[in-house]
Amino acid sequence: MVCKKCGAELRDQDRFCPQCGVSVAVEHVTAEPVEQTPADKKPSDETLNNNPILVRGILAVAFACTWPVAFLGIIFGIQTKGLLDAFLAKGGQLAGRAKVGGILGKVGFWLGIGITILVAIYITCLVILLALGLMKNVSVSIR
């Protein structure tokens, strides 16, 4: 080593320069292993947030089963599909929460469509029967 102030030759155990007396700062470099990640390594499910997929899937089924708002099951089912596609595009794996959320989203979507169609048929039949006067003694109240 060489003194940074005067350029005198230093030994490894010197703490001060023998010529000018300046303190010799010894830099201790510790080598920490650096994890080498290959470029094609996909991120794990822990680094990608897949919770919204599961939550939207659950909401899709919950709303699809409630006939006044079954159309919300369709909407949440579509959102689940979009979130799942984005998750897979980022390198996520179709497993665990993402897989369950995707399945629930599809179930909620189709169940929402089915129940919405049944409700529409029911209301249509009710209106037709009321219009034809076949239900004279029945009162209909909308809550």
Instruction: Dump the DSSP string for 35-76.
Output: PP--TTPPPPTTTS--HHHHHHHHHHHHHHTSGGGHHHHHHH
pLDDT at residue 136, as a whole number = 65
Averaged pLDDT, 8-35: 71
Q: What is the mean pLDDT of the chain?
A: 78
More confident site: 57 or 47 = 57
State percent of the chain over pLDDT 70: 76
With 50 as the cut, is the pLDDT of residue 46 above it?
no
For the chain, percent of residues with pLDDT exceeding 90 = 4
Q: What is the pLDDT of residue 87?
A: 83
The Cα 121–Cα 115 span in angstroms is: 10
9 φ, ψ to 5°? -75, 135
What mean pLDDT is predicted for residues 22-28?
Answer: 66
Q: What is the mean pLDDT of residues 104-119?
A: 90
